[in-house]
Amino acid sequence: MLIRAKAPLRISFAGGGTDVPPFPAREGGLVLNATINRYAYGTLRSRSDESITIHSYDYGSSIELSVGKTPVFDGRLDLAKAAIKRFTGDVESGFDLALHSNAPPGSGLGASSAMMVALIGVLKEFSNIPVTDYELAELAHRIEREELGISGGRQDQYAASFGGFNFIELYGDHVVVNPLRIADDIVLELEHNLLLCYTGTTRQSDHIIDDQVERYERGEPEAIAGLRAQKELAVEMKNALLQRRLADFGELLNAAWQAKRRMSDRISNPRIDELYDSARAAGALGGKVTGAGGGGYLLLYCDGNHKHEVAQKMRELGAEVDEFAFEHSGIRTWRVNGDN
């Protein structure tokens, strides 16, 4: 018997950073994001003995554990170990767990959190533990942020759990996910006009997030203004999508990037600045890095007449250019009979 799960990755349009403590508790966070057709996958195959094996295709790494023994957190596949520790307390047989993702860790697409959601998906099925979407997202957040101490917010776990276009409100530990009913033709036009450009480097988001939080805690005016502007822009961009104002949405994406840059001087770098400025010169209305910053993917909104020029310019500068579609479903799990 095989159990599989797939959890979608996400792109964040505005509000990133306002979901990171202590901002939600003090001022309330707002995030606008959407999931795309890139996924984190997990496959669990049951065994007749007490061995647990984990293989990550992304890291090219494998480890072996034993049922009933507490894993050692040593930096090797700790996400998987923490999820296994949480869900396998009462199981008596082992399993093989295989993991892979469509995007590398550090890509800015929420891949690590989507992987945690996929892990919980297969393990809850294996352990026969019912979990709601809210519970799954919150459990993924708790394991990552509290038990493993990985810096970050809540939007990635909720995006992977719920899927689709979401306007997420955060008040301390209270989260409200508002699914947005974006018209089908608007979704198609967004897909037509948006590009993902891989900058060529991944990044360690912890350092950028920690710097952002420290600046906010110190009361630095630029960091505070950038975070508050992110909240305002999340509302404006949501309204632009619902009101079918896509040109305004593209321009607001540029405003969101300028606000994001104010939150920490580590968010951009000369490589990102070169790509972004060149994209704008070639006809992009706006864009932003898709995660904490420092590398990963640039999301660019182009006027339909200039999309090919923007793509060509990005390729000339050595960036990988990719199109994508939006994913309207969140985490999905299923069972397969046999050894497929």
Per-residue pLDDT at 203 exceeds 70: no
Task: Write down which residue in 114, 148, 180 finishes a domain.
Answer: 180
Instruction: Give the CATH number for residue 202.
Output: 3.30.70.890
Tell me the pLDDT tens digit for each residue of 175-185. 999 999 999 99
Per-residue pLDDT at 92 exceeds 80: no
For the chain, give the mean pLDDT: 93
Catalytic residue numbers read 156
Lowest mean pLDDT among 10-14, 26-30, 46-50, 328-332: 46-50
Task: Write down which residue in 155, 180, 205 finishes a domain.
Answer: 180
Of 67 and 154, the one with more pLDDT: 154
Tokens 């307390």 correspond to 89
pLDDT band at 105 (very low <50, low <70, confident <90, very high): confident
Q: What is the structure's pLDDT at 280?
A: 96
Q: What is the structure's pLDDT at 293?
A: 83
Q: What is the structure's pLDDT at 93?
A: 87
Q: Say yes or no: 35 and 106 in one domain.
A: yes
Q: What is the structure's pLDDT at 96?
A: 95
Q: Say yes or no: 153 and 225 in one domain.
A: no
Tell me the pLDDT tens digit for each residue of 213-224. 999 999 999 999
Q: What is the structure's pLDDT at 338?
A: 66
pTM, 2 dp: 0.94
Task: Write down which residue in 121, 155, 180 finishes a domain.
Answer: 180
Is 332 a domain residue? Answer: no
Q: Say yes or no: 107 and 10 in one domain.
A: yes
Q: Say yes or no: 191 and 133 in one domain.
A: no
pLDDT band at 97 (very low <50, low <70, confident <90, very high): very high
Q: Say yes or no: 45 and 167 in one domain.
A: yes
Q: CA torsion sign, 147 to 151 to 155 to 157?
A: negative
Is 214 a domain residue? Answer: yes
Q: Say yes or no: 9 and 151 in one domain.
A: yes
Is 119 a domain residue? Answer: yes
Is 329 a domain residue? Answer: no
Separation CA 262–CA 226 (nearest Å): 5
Is 336 a domain residue? Answer: no
Is 116 a domain residue? Answer: yes
pLDDT band at 201 (very low <50, low <70, confident <90, very high): confident
Percent of the chain scoring above 70 in pLDDT: 97
Q: Say yes or no: 167 and 280 in one domain.
A: no
Q: Say yes or no: 176 and 254 in one domain.
A: no
Is 339 a domain residue? Answer: no
Tell me how many domains the chain contains.
2
Q: Say yes or no: 21 and 146 in one domain.
A: yes
Q: Say yes or no: 149 and 55 in one domain.
A: yes
Is 216 a domain residue? Answer: yes
> Span 70-93, mean pLDDT?
86
Per-residue pLDDT at 5 exceeds 90: yes
Instruction: Give the CATH number for residue 174.
Output: 3.30.230.10
Torsion angle (degrees, nearest 10) of CA 58, 202, 136, 85: 50
Separation CA 31–CA 169 (nearest Å): 7
Q: Which domain range does residue 291 map to?
A: 184-322
Q: What is the structure's pLDDT at 340?
A: 58
Q: Say yes or no: 127 and 235 in one domain.
A: no
> Span 272-281, mean pLDDT?
96
Tell me the pLDDT tens digit for each residue of 114-129. 999 999 999 999 988 8
Q: Say yes or no: 225 and 304 in one domain.
A: yes
